[in-house]
């Protein structure tokens, strides 16, 4: 993958209780739309050495959506800023633009870009985390379990700093593509007859188990994995809760740090009260793992 010259952070925009850096170019890729992120930092001086960071990764079956327009991203952004976290809404290429591992390379590039500019942006390079729902939860966990593995880094954007995160929060994440069911009737993909996970892998997960395993967080869990809070509903028919049960079990078997919140009678998308409660739980988890903001 060839990239154009790296870009500096955009001009800061005061916005009440926060400072915004809009459309920062993580990697202006030749032949693709540029990879961007939007960063919001609490206004005022942080406690040294900087603000803890949450990289928000949006859901959408790796095929639709944008962090700019995701309602969950707006809600989490407001709650996290109030709690003293900097929030980066990161982009990744959709599965019809590029197959896996492009998506992981993209979010790793965003983490490296943020760490590279941490001094300028008042961020603490030692307190990075990721938070996502569904496909975004998958990528958040992949950041947690793959750390700085050279074979999964990619060569996009800034390549010097670490792409590791120190914690992750994952809501309803797929963790084992070989055991994911086809899209349920409630999914817009059901009507098309398409499997978005085949788009992601470039092939059917069932027909290519090695490829499915390579893209699955479950495969990569080791004792070195970053702490993770996994949240999943018992009524999720798109990504069954067994996916998260297996992920958390793998964490515990490896001796890694995982917490699990299972939500009774809750589907793939959470109602307002559940969303608020799980956001509070996620913030408390990050404070325990990263230290107070």
Give residue-wise pLDDT tens across range 264-293.
999 989 999 999 999 999 999 999 999 877
What dihedral angle (degrees, nearest 10) is formed by the CA atoms of 219, 165, 130, 261? 60
Alpha-carbon distance of 143 to 159, in angstroms, equals 15
Residue 54: its pLDDT value, please? 99
Distance CA 22, CA 166 (A): 25
How much is the average pLDDT of 82-92? 97
CA atoms within 13 A on the CB side of 203: 12
CA distances in angstroms from 28 to 34, 35, 67, 81, 103, listed in the order given: 4, 6, 18, 28, 15
Question: 169 pairs with which residues across the strands?
Answer: 131, 229
**For residue 1, what pLDDT is reported?**
53
CB 113 within 8 A of CB 157: yes
DSSP 8-state secondary structure symbol assigned to residue 4 = P
Cis peptide before 63 (omega within 30 of 0): no
Which domains does the chain possess? 13-290 (3.40.50.1820)
Rounded CA-CA distance 32/37 in Å is: 15
- Torsion angle (degrees, nearest 10) of CA 164, 137, 195, 153: -10
Distances (CA, A) of 169 to 166, 203, 232, 259, 276: 11, 28, 11, 10, 14
Whether residue 80 contacts residue 88, with contact meaning beta carbons closer than 8 Å, is answered with: no
* pLDDT tens by residue, 188-247: 776 676 778 888 889 988 888 999 999 999 999 999 999 999 999 999 988 999 999 999
Q: What is the mean pLDDT of residues 129-141?
A: 98
Per DSSP, which regions of the chain are E strands? Answer: 13-15, 18-27, 35-42, 51-57, 86-90, 123-133, 167-171, 228-233, 258-263
pTM summary value: 0.94
Cis bond leading into 197, ω under 30°?
no
What's the residue count for the chain?
Answer: 293
Q: Rounded distance, CA 175 to CA 213, Å?
A: 9
Least confident of 60-74, 99-113, 211-225: 60-74
- Segment 152-160 shows an average pLDDT of 92
Q: Are 89 and 38 in contact (CB under 8 A)?
A: yes
3-state secondary structure of 232: strand
């Amino acid at each position: 993958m060839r990239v154009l010259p790296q870009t500096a952070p955009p001009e800061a925009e005061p916005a009440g209780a926060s400072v915004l850096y809009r459309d920062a170019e993580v990697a202006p890729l030749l032949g693709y739309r540029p990879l961007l992120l939007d960063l919001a930092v609490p206004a005022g001086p942080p406690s040294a050495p900087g603000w803890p960071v949450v990289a928000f990764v949006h859901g959408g079956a790796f095929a639709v959506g944008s962090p700019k327009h995701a309602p969950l991203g707006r809600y989490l952004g407001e709650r996290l800023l109030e709690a003293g976290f900097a929030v980066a809404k990161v982009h990744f290429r959709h599965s019809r633009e590029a197959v896996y591992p492009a998506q992981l390379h993209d979010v790793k590039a965003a983490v490296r870009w943020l760490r590279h500019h941490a001094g300028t942006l008042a961020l603490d390079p030692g307190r990075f985390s990721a938070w996502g729902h569904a496909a975004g939860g998958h990528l958040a966990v992949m950041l947690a379990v793959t750390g700085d593995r050279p074979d999964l880094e990619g060569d996009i954007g800034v390549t010097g700093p670490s792409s590791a995160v120190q914690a992750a929060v994952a809501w309803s994440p797929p963790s084992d593509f070989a055991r994911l069911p086809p899209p349920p009737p409630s999914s817009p993909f059901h009507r098309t007859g398409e499997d978005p996970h085949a788009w992601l892998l470039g092939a059917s997960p069932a027909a290519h188990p090695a490829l499915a395993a390579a893209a699955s967080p479950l495969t990569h869990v080791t004792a070195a994995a970053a702490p993770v809070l996994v949240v999943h509903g018992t009524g999720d028919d798109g990504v069954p809760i067994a996916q998260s049960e297996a992920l958390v079990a793998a964490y515990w078997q490896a001796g890694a740090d995982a917490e699990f919140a299972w939500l009774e009678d809750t589907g793939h998308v959470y109602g307002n009260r559940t969303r608020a409660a799980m956001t509070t739980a996620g913030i408390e988890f990050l404070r325990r793992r990263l230290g107070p903001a």
